[in-house]
Amino acid sequence: MRASLERQKYLIDYTLASLLRRKTRNLGLLLVYTLLVFLFASVLLLGQALRREAATLLQDAPEVIVQRTVAGRHDLLPADWLDHLRQIRGVSEARGRLWGYYYDPAVKANYTVMAAPERPLAEGEILIGATLARVRGIGVGDVFSLRAAGGPPALFKVAGILEPSSELLSADLLLLSETGFRALFQLPPERYTDAVLTVRNPREAGTIAQKIALSLPSSRPILRSEILRTYDAVFDWRESMTFLALGAPLLAFAILAWDKAAGLSAEEKREIGILKAIGWETGDILRMKLWEGALLSLTAFLLGYLLAWWQVFHGGARLFAPVLKGWAVLYPDFRLTPTVELRQILVLLAVTVAPYIIATLVPGWRAAIADPDAAMRG
């Protein structure tokens, strides 16, 4: 055992010396290889973390949401719909929600304005998301002015700022009382943005949605399962788009690596020939080539993956912020829960490390089985 380990160490020593003889080329390859693994791992980790975050946080979203549509567009929902919805068998509770958007020309950002009946807010008080507070540069006790639908500015006192840890949900939120909301948007009484339902048996949500669509033809029921599916599809799609964009650099690297690994230079062939002439066996040469491929690709894989992990979970995924951000002014400062799946690592390993090792081994094996004399002559 010890002798075998020592033998492998001698092979590694030799391989390293051989790699260092062409250090500029090999270091360049290591750098490009690491960068490629870093990019792929970043996309994979970010996509997975966002999918997981959405699935965890939105599992408490309303079971059924009912919107009213007019000419295919969302419209306000009359309060008598709530009574109708409560009559449907299986529905245990129906309440109206008040929410909407407010475009603030001062910072060129859209806010999500929402009535929060469970918060003890006076008519002139608001709670704001941490991102919004940061972008507007305001804090608790400050006065926040919004242009009311009627014309004159409505003044609100900032009663509190929502937890910064929840920015992924509340970056642009502006919470106010129901009376404050209705006054700001001049919303008629007995009108709601939409309705949220609680159902007795969540497995019946689909059937209840069908009943709602039948009894209220202009309604659009949205199920929690659809919300979760939407987010799954969104991140899958974005991940695929990024992978497509990364396809070109991957192909370029594949050509570079194949050229480097598969096409042995005359010098390398002569080296193998000399090694065989001085007594190395074919197995030793294959082991040496295996170490050459494994050391380079495994180092690149580990460095690239660890850098990607740090970037996604501790660096705020800043590399991909422009893709997610678009033209948005309010972009949450969020920390994703580190989630890593063994399957992901194995896929990345299979895609990046395995092909390189094979590309190193095959030509090495061809040269190793040739006659030493022929190999030395090139």
Q: Are 128 and 158 in contact (CB under 8 A)?
A: yes
Buried b (16+ CB within 10 A) or exposed e, 126-136: bbbbbbbbbbb
Chain centre distance of CA 77: 35
Closer residue to other proteins in complex, CB, 52/157 = 52
Instruction: Please report, to the nearest 10 degrees, the dihedral formed by the alpha carbons of residues 241, 245, 248, 249 taken in order.
Output: -120
Size of the site for other proteins (CB under 8 A): 84
Does residue 30 belong to the site contacting other proteins (CB under 8 A)?
no
In sequence order, the 6+-apart residues with CB closer than 8 A to the CB of 344 are 44, 45, 48
Does residue 62 belong to the site contacting other proteins (CB under 8 A)?
yes
Q: Are 29 and 260 in contact (CB under 8 A)?
A: yes
Does residue 59 belong to the site contacting other proteins (CB under 8 A)?
yes
Find the part of the chain contacting other proteins (CB under 8 A) among 21-29, 178-186, 249-257, 301-309: 301-309
Does residue 146 belong to the site contacting other proteins (CB under 8 A)?
no
Does residue 290 belong to the site contacting other proteins (CB under 8 A)?
no
Does residue 226 belong to the site contacting other proteins (CB under 8 A)?
yes
Minimum distance of other proteins from residue 73's CB (angstroms): 6
Q: In angstroms, rounded to a whole number, what is the distance separating the alpha carbons of residues 95 and 66? A: 10
How many Cα atoms within 13 Å fall on the side-chain side of residue 211?
15
Site for other proteins, residues 87 to 106, rule: CB under 8 A? 97, 101
Site for other proteins, residues 192 to 221, rule: CB under 8 A? 194, 196, 220
CA nearest to 112, candidates 96, 126, 95, 123? 126
Site for other proteins, residues 244 to 273, rule: CB under 8 A? none
Find the part of the chain contacting other proteins (CB under 8 A) among 82-90, 165-173, 249-257, 273-281: 165-173
Does residue 133 belong to the site contacting other proteins (CB under 8 A)?
no
Among 33, 185, 280, 305, binds other proteins (CB under 8 A): 305
Does residue 171 belong to the site contacting other proteins (CB under 8 A)?
yes
Residue 41 CB-density burial (10 A; 0-12 exposed, 13-18 middle, 19+ buried): buried
Does residue 320 belong to the site contacting other proteins (CB under 8 A)?
no
